[in-house]
Amino acid sequence: MKVDKLSVSFEPDLGDAVRSAAAQAGKPVSSWLAEAAASKLRAEALAEFLSGWEAEHGMLTAGEIARAERELGLASDNPAA
C-alpha cells in the first residue's frame, strides 16, 4: 500500500494528548491521526452538503434531526439531553 508521509507539529500539550489517545486506542499515532483526519474531512463534507441542501430546501426541523439521529443510532436515551 502506498502511503503519503507528512510531518506535523503540535503544541506540547496537544502532542501529549494525541499520543495518549492513540495509546488508549491501541494504535500507532500515525493511524490514530489518519482516522482523525478522515473523520474531520467527512464532517466537513457533511456540513457542506447540509448547507447546500438547506439553502435549497430550508432548514431541517427538530423532528427531522431527531429522526436522523434515531436512524443513525445517535439518539440519546435521555430525551432531555
pLDDT digits (tens, 9 = 90+) for 36-60: 999 999 999 999 999 999 999 999 9
In angstroms, how far is the first alpha carbon of the chain from the final one? Answer: 43
Q: Do 75 and 66 meet the contact criterion of CB atoms below 8 Å apart?
A: yes
Tell me the pLDDT tens digit for each residue of 4-32: 999 999 999 999 999 999 999 999 999 99
- From CA 1, how far away is CA 10, in angstroms rounded? 27
Residues in the chain: 81
Owner of C-alpha cell 427531522: 64
C-alpha cell of 61? 426541523
Q: Do 51 and 42 meet the contact criterion of CB atoms below 8 Å apart?
A: no
